[in-house]
Every structure is written in C-alpha cells, then in structure tokens.
Structure 1
C-alpha cells in the first residue's frame, strides 16, 4: 500500500503541505470582507488516493484577480481544512491549518488521516489570513477505501484519459459524475495537453483556446495550463464529488516523452531535465496525488488496495523508458531496452505475484496487448525476420506502446505466467479508442497457447482519433481500421476508433466488467451520451467476453 508522504501518444495517428488529522491552532481571521468564494476557489476542490484511513484533500487559493496560476503574485497565507461525516460539519473528524505561498503556486494539499474505512466524508477549506481571509470553499465529498481485510462485494471506478481542452468540451466528465456509487475516478494520463493553440485539434479546429497560447515549457507555463483545465465546470464538479487516482502519460510533459527527452523537445529549447522537473513540480502541486516513497526516493508509481477484492497498481511509463525506436527495427526486441525501468519492474512483478487480493488491476497509460501487422510465428518465420531485420513478434503499429519494448513486456508476462497469477486486468488510456483484448502467451499461437491476462482500453475524453485526424464522418474510416485490426489480431475482441467518452469498471469477486459510454458531440458543452458496449472478464479465465448490458 502507498505510504503517506506527499511531495504521451500521437504516434499511431501520425509540493503541497502534508499534515495529519490532528487539529492545529487556527489564526485569527481578518475582519475585512473576503472576496466571493467563487473567485477565491475558482479552481475548485478535489480529493484523491483514498486509503482505508486517509485521503488527499486539495484546493488552490486565488487571493486577488492578479494572483493567477503561475504568476507568483500574492502574499503567503494560511488555510484551515476540515473533514466531517456530515455536510453540516457537526461531526468534524479532522482539521488543521496549513500555509501556502507562491512557492506552492498557492495550492493546498493535505493528507487527512485517522479516518474510517469505506466511509463518505465532506470537506472544506477556509482562508484564515491575508486578503482573502474568511473565504470558505465549496464543500467537497470523498470516500475512503475499504479496510484491507474487508470482504468487498463491489468496487466501481470511472476510467478516463486524454482530455484536450482545445479539441472539445468535457461533457464526458459530467456524465461520469452522474454514474452511481463510484469509489474513485482512475485517470490514466494526458489530463491536459502541452501543445500550442491549434497544434492538435483535428477536423474540429480549436473549439476553445489554450492558455498560454504557446507550447508550455516552463514552470509558470505548466502551472497556468493546470489552472486552466481546473476551471472547466464539468471537471471541477467531478473532482468535487469523487476522489481521483491519477498517473501521468506524456502530454503532462511533452509528446512521446522518455527519460532523456521527447518528440517535441527540440534543439535550442533548453534542458529536458529542467523542463521535466518543472512539469513534475506543477503536477505534484496541482493534482490530488500521494507519491510513493521507497529507498530510491519519491516516485509516481504506487499501489492502492480495496479490501480483499483488488489492488490497483498505477504505472509511470514515461520517466524510466528508453528512447522509442522505429516500428520496423529489430532493436524493439533488445533485452537491454526498458519501458518501466528496473526498480518499477521489480515493484510491479513482486506486487502482482505476492498479492492477496482476488483481482490485480493495473493502471496502464499505454497499451500492452500486442497489436501487430501481421503477427509472425518466430519459429517458422525466424529466418525471414532475421533476414529482414524486423521484430520477431511482427511489426507493431505503434512502437510508443509496449509493442516497442517487447523484452520488458515478456519479462512482465512471464512473471505473471510462471507464478500462476490470475485475474490480472490492465486498464489503459492513451490511444483515443476503445479496445477489449485477451493478452496471449504467444501472439502467433492464439488461442492455442492460452492467455496470461486481459486488457480493457478506454477512449479519449476529447482528444483526436481516426475520424478527427482524417476528416472523415464517424463510423467510416475508423470502422474499416477497427475491422482490419480485429481481423489480423484475433485476440483483439473489440475495437472502436471514432467515439469519445468514458468507461466504468465494476469489479466483483466473480467478474471485472468494463462498460463504455460515448458522448454524442464533443464540440457541444451540453452533449448527450449513449451506452455503447460492455466486456467482462470472469474470475479465473483470463479472457474477455461480450456482455449485453452495463454492470449496474
């Protein structure tokens, strides 16, 4: 389980304060009238990373019109936080006062501890010093995880990724907020996009304009972009109602990032390490996350447990990976190349093989299922692959995914298979499309060689997909592409290339089921939605199967 110390994907289509729950002395509130709360808390409130006895609480204070994200404008101030069992705050179970300043971009992050398992809570913030003194935030609601030893009948996660401000409105978040009984929202990356205005919008053009208008590279830029996204009313409302569990992909730093750079980190743009450090600092300030801590230091990959039912392992697949190679290069098979890095690989495999929960869910920013053009049998076609210098398992369509790091994928899947670990389900974002896949032991001998795990991929909230990129009507070019993939890759049981929306993962002792919901028109802030498809993984099977209705 996580400790309590606080601190990308176009290839295919082309420290806050930490305190305990103990109450601290509250400074006297200034006598002058505070600015309206809607202005002081214009970025809302949020919670995240729920444990059985703790949850992260977050907000940002705008003490004056000039104190915008990244500006550095404003005086240091103090903020009181409270968490209670009731919305009237008659039963406060934790409170305290924490400082914030321009050093933290006036964000406030609290690890509220001493809570009860699987309990709904209400929380709020009040500024206690400075020009905004007396301003009280909207009330947020959150929920702790079940006790580690609890027999849990059901856990429900919202699953989202890839929300580009300029490519559309976030109606998917609004509809997800209306789903019943969510334990948390799992955000699998690309929470925002780093591009300049008009850089990546497809056929819609820029529906609304990024701030700043240029590609973001500095700490001020990243803070500003975080702040803009958290003014979206549908995202703000979802944060206010439900805890998030987040991991980053590439666009929180730069497109197709790796440990030494990124596709759009160009010569003359300065140091990649400085740029990445700025992005990570802003991410830590602005997201309701609890980074993990081990002997190697702080890191974003972490694990949360939900009773005896499931463990959720969230992966960082950008910070430790080697440079991507061309999809036709035999270097894809190089055992020295890594996607996760040695420490994260050890952490993940040890966690999966020692887990005491029925389900092992992996929050996986990029697809792990082999998707090849075409799959080749290494034994019968070994001479051909050697002669041509192409990867042994076939030519992948996207080497930015696990298909570009086959040795690391084999190490992980072999560990799962050799230790007889069952019920491993990868939930994935990144690729702006929807998939349900069996993960074969041997892609060229499916289903004969069996399966080792499954993968359920959610589409983008707004980011461009096939019909957007080629300027085609929905269900035309994308339908043909999806049919080609499922025909060539028989372990891919479902593929949809055109729609935007969200998913809901419902886990019970007998099955894990993903339900896909799509928005009608991402360019409309009031867009409707429709239920699309469901696939289920029955316990012990390592196979996906279609289901005719949502889990609820």
Structure 2
C-alpha cells in the first residue's frame, strides 16, 4: 500500500492422532514442553525430495526472543513416516544459540516425493509438538488435484487469526500460500482494528532493530491458531512491505524516516535476518527470496519479491517510464524464462504476487466513498487510474510481463494476490482500459486480509452496507473485474485440476473473536485454455 493510502487510511482431520493432539495442545495455549518449545513448529518450501523444518527453543528462562541471552544448545530433529515415530527416516542435530535467536531451521533432503511425514524436535530428551508436512510430487508425476489455502495481511493488533484455525481444521489442503504482511512493523495502536487494539504489540514501539524484529516475529508465533496451521501443513511464503516497513522500495519506505530512525539499509538488513531466522523459507544463494516450487505436471508456483528491487513509488505519467521497475531486471528475466519453460511442463502457472497486477480505475464512485477507496487502493485523490504501489505504478514492467504471456501463448497463468485487504476476481487484460476488446492473458484471484483494516473498518459502518455502491462502480469502470468484496476478512482456498482452477473465498464473522465462524462468500473458476473467470457460486 502507498503513502497515499495506508498511513492516512488506517490511522483516520487428516493430520493423524498425534498431530491432532499436538494442535489441541497449541490451541489450548499450553506447550508440549514447559519451557523449551514456546513458538510451535513449522515446515515450508516442499521439494520432491525435501522440505524446510523450523522451530525455536527457549533453553533457559532468560533466553527470550531478541534478548541475546541463553546458552548454545544441540537440538535433535526427527522425520518419520508415522505419527508415533516408530519409523524414523531422517534425523540429525542442529546447534543453535543467541547468535540466531535460538531458532532451528533444517533443509531436510533425501525424502520420497509426494509423501506425508511427521516431524518433531527434542531438547534434553523433551519433544516438541509434532508437525505434519509433505514433499512435492515428482516433476514427472501426473497429479489429479491440488488444494492450497491462500492468506495475506495478518495484523496482530487488529484481531485474532481465526482464518488460520479454519484452514488448519480442513484436513484437505496440500499446503498454505502466504502472500505477505505476515507481521506488521507499527507501534502499539498505530495500526489497530478501526482504532481499537484487540491485543497489543510486543515490543510496544515501532520495530527498527534486529532485536525488535525478532521479538515481533516471536509474538506472532505465540498465536495458537498460527501454530496449529504451521504444524498442519507446509507453507510457501513471500514477504511484502510490512515485514520491513510500509511501502518499502529498494532505497527506503514511506514508514521510514532516516533522520529519526537511522539507516534504511541497516533496518532492512535487520528485518531480513530476523525473517530468515524465524520463517520456514528457503533463501537463494545470494539471499534472494523469489523462487519456484513445482507440483508434478499439474502446477508450478512462482513466488515473487516485489519490494527489494523496485523503483520508488510515483504517480501520474511517471509510472510509464520504462526505466522504472517493480521486479528489477534480473527477476523479470528469471520470471519470464520460468513461465516459458513451465508452459511445456505443467498445466497451471500460479504466481504468488504480493500486490495487484490488474489495472484499477475508480470511476464514478460516490463522493462519500471516494476518499476511503482511493486511500485503500493507493489511487491519488485527483482521480488518476493509477495505484503507484502496485503494478499500476510500474506499467512498463506490467506490459512486458503480460506481453510475454500473450506473445509466447503461455496460458493457464493465475496470479494469487494479497496486500489490499479485500477480495477480487479479475481477468487480466493485455492492455489496461481496453477490456474486452483486448484479450485476457491471465486471471487474478485476490484474497482478503486475515485481520487488517478494510473499507467498512475505516468508515465505521456495518459490512455490506455503504461499500456496495463502491463495488458496483468498480465493476462498471473495470469490466475485467468480475467481482469484488471490500468488507470482509478471511481467506481463500484454490483447487487445481487439469480442467480448471477454482477459488473459494471465505469471510469471518468477526475478526476480533478467536471463535469466529467462516462462511463461503463466492466461488470463481477459470477453465484451462480460456484465461477468463466464470462465477460458480455467490
């Protein structure tokens, strides 16, 4: 989100008996070990022969996150085919200490493709909660179906993570895709639920240092529903801006003042170090986070980094400058090469895309909704059809990428997007403002926030009241937008088969309640070869 929006807007059963038992322990707020494993277990980035395993240990009471205190210890890890660990297939020891905030992260290899495993850690013979993970199918495997939970924008202070609880309880997912804003950097009360803090941040101040970022990551990983979802499935995660600071770009951020907050480079380095310590993600050889994960011949998931290499956000005609970039040249080449290669290898190309790629014009939105909507979407109040923090602010890169899909006849590409706290189902036109005269070259499915504020929160009105007019105006002005829902918090579930990709969107009854219910609000699908969405339900 941009300096024109977020700051002003937001201020004015399948896991097995042992796993189920472990998740129940986490959900109860208790710990399998009295002191050692306070932040749960997690897995991520599944490969056909491997997966990342993660935990954090507290070997002594003073070894709290970010403290730099506590002894170095040896933590045992185990991977088994069964929940009772009678058939252990991989094991080892990982030495951790205060230099890495007592986190444990192991890239386990030598596993069997397309196989479910159970894993745990032990310190001084005391076991952690048990997690369940799964390796990706072999590259040549004919996979009938895949299903992923899709989430983004999980703000601790704005509510509870009931969305995670509902996904953890499904039992039918392969894994979870998180599209960014896993944590938020603000101080207490700066980014609350419509001005109300449901549960306060730790530390209370805006996070700037390595210790600060470690403490904030640790806070989030005390949430029992987050722990349950991490323990239930492997996650595939990419960062957006709030993992560092609002509206981050390669040289700074809207929410960073060098005069009072020090060096941007130092702050970003601290945030990145804490991120790689605390998250079950696999970094590249040079520390890059953009990466690909393949699931047999059915799908390839490409996860993008749209913060580290981008030009500073601008509006107006500047956005058309071909020297400006959102991906950086190296990542754009890597992205296009990968899409071309996968076209002959997999049916679906999923692109984990932290900010919306579809163009947005706000048109004749009623005056009382124009300001809030413009600030949420990053559109200047003067009415430019530009969102400078999203692909609308980097039109040359967008045209290069969409032109590559069109010219290369690369179909069945689905952008999975977060960031704007609202739900959208979009056809992605080759050229903005000309749909349907111009072809749709991809589709985009935007999921709502887990908790972060949206339109009704900002206006302080009941959901599904005033925003209905804005949704109608958006549809009239943007014919490629097949559906939008600007109020609800929740999650998405995408199901892939050879014939179609289907997304179901779910809303929570109340983000401030941990026991919130979840209700399906819409379903759309794109049939293979069409690049156009069809409403199935809602």
TM-score (norm 2): 0.90
Structure 1 partner of 2:355: 366
Per-residue deviation at 1:180? Answer: 3.1
Q: Pick one of 265, 271, 274 that aligns with 1:279.
A: 271
Distance in structure 2 (CA, Å) of the matches to 1:259 and 1:223: 22
Structure 2 partner of 1:172: 163
Distance in structure 2 (CA, Å) of the matches to 1:486 and 1:399: 21
Q: Pick one of 441, 448, 455 that aligns with 1:466.
A: 455
Structure 1 partner of 2:281: 289
For 1:445, what is the secondary structure of its paired residue?
coil
For 1:273, what is the secondary structure of its paired residue?
helix
Structure 1 partner of 2:186: 195
Structure 2 partner of 1:57: 53
> 2:44·2:51 contact (CA, 8 Å) conserved in 1?
yes
1:242-265, CA deviations, whole angstroms, 9 ceiling, x for partnerless residues?
100000000000000000000010
1:467-501, CA deviations, whole angstroms, 9 ceiling, x for partnerless residues?
11121221123222222211110100010000000
> Would you say 1:87 and 2:97 are equivalent positions?
no
For 1:40, what is the secondary structure of its paired residue?
coil
> 1:156·1:181 contact (CA, 8 Å) conserved in 2?
yes
For 2:185, what is the secondary structure of its paired residue?
coil
Residues 505-524 of structure 1: matches in 2 within 5 Å? 505-524=494-513
For 1:220, what is the secondary structure of its paired residue?
helix
Per-residue deviation at 1:354? Answer: 1.3
> 1:373·1:397 contact (CA, 8 Å) conserved in 2?
no
Describe the shift of the 1:136–1:9 C-alpha distance in structure 2 as closer, same or farther (beyond 3 A): farther
For 2:249, what is the secondary structure of its paired residue?
coil
> Would you say 1:42 and 2:34 are equivalent positions?
no
Per-residue deviation at 1:397? Answer: 4.7
Structure 2 partner of 1:453: 442
> 1:53·1:113 contact (CA, 8 Å) conserved in 2?
yes
Structure 1 partner of 2:372: none
1:218-268, CA deviations, whole angstroms, 9 ceiling, x for partnerless residues?
000000000000000000000011100000000000000000000010122
Residues 145-156 of structure 1: matches in 2 within 5 Å? 145-156=136-147
Distance in structure 2 (CA, Å) of the matches to 1:197 and 1:205: 10
Q: Pick one of 521, 525, 538 that aligns with 2:527.
A: 538
Aligned residues: 496
> 1:254·1:265 contact (CA, 8 Å) conserved in 2?
yes
TM-score (norm 1): 0.88
Distance in structure 2 (CA, Å) of the matches to 1:319 and 1:88: 43
Structure 2 partner of 1:331: 318
Name which of structure 1's ranges 135-144 and 201-210 shifts more when overlaid on structure 2.
201-210
Distance in structure 2 (CA, Å) of the matches to 1:421 and 1:288: 31
> 2:349·2:413 contact (CA, 8 Å) conserved in 1?
yes
Q: Pick one of 237, 241, 259 that aligns with 2:250.
A: 259
Structure 2 partner of 1:239: 230
For 1:372, what is the secondary structure of its paired residue?
coil
1:35-54, CA deviations, whole angstroms, 9 ceiling, x for partnerless residues?
97142111000000001110
Structure 2 partner of 1:351: 338
Per-residue deviation at 1:444? Answer: 2.7
Distance in structure 2 (CA, Å) of the matches to 1:62 and 1:161: 28
Distance in structure 2 (CA, Å) of the matches to 1:547 and 1:225: 40
1:58-87, CA deviations, whole angstroms, 9 ceiling, x for partnerless residues?
000011222111001100110110000001
Distance in structure 2 (CA, Å) of the matches to 1:38 and 1:352: 48
For 1:280, what is the secondary structure of its paired residue?
helix
For 1:398, what is the secondary structure of its paired residue?
coil
Per-residue deviation at 1:164? Answer: 0.4
Residues 68-467 of structure 1: matches in 2 within 5 Å? 68-127=64-123, 133-203=124-194, 205-266=196-257, 267-293=259-285, 297-326=286-315, 329-355=316-342, 356-374=345-363, 395-467=384-456
1:369-412, CA deviations, whole angstroms, 9 ceiling, x for partnerless residues?
0112459xxxxxxxxxxxxxx99xx9335211100000110111
Per-residue deviation at 1:298? Answer: 2.5
Describe the shift of the 1:36–1:472 C-alpha distance in structure 2 as closer, same or farther (beyond 3 A): closer
1:426-478, CA deviations, whole angstroms, 9 ceiling, x for partnerless residues?
00000000000001122332112211111000000000000111212211232
Per-residue deviation at 1:204? Answer: 5.3
Q: Pick one of 440, 462, 466 that aligns with 1:477.
A: 466
> 1:12·1:398 contact (CA, 8 Å) conserved in 2?
no
Describe the shift of the 1:163–1:11 C-alpha distance in structure 2 as closer, same or farther (beyond 3 A): farther
> 1:466·1:477 contact (CA, 8 Å) conserved in 2?
no
For 1:39, what is the secondary structure of its paired residue?
coil
Describe the shift of the 1:202–1:171 C-alpha distance in structure 2 as closer, same or farther (beyond 3 A): closer
For 2:261, what is the secondary structure of its paired residue?
coil
Describe the shift of the 1:184–1:38 C-alpha distance in structure 2 as closer, same or farther (beyond 3 A): farther
Describe the shift of the 1:337–1:496 C-alpha distance in structure 2 as closer, same or farther (beyond 3 A): same
Per-residue deviation at 1:9? Answer: 5.6
Distance in structure 2 (CA, Å) of the matches to 1:298 and 1:54: 19
> 1:11·1:398 contact (CA, 8 Å) conserved in 2?
no
Distance in structure 2 (CA, Å) of the matches to 1:410 and 1:530: 37
CA RMSD of aligned residues (A): 1.7
Q: Pick one of 477, 494, 497 that aligns with 2:486.
A: 497
For 1:444, what is the secondary structure of its paired residue?
coil
Q: Pick one of 501, 518, 529 that aligns with 1:529.
A: 518
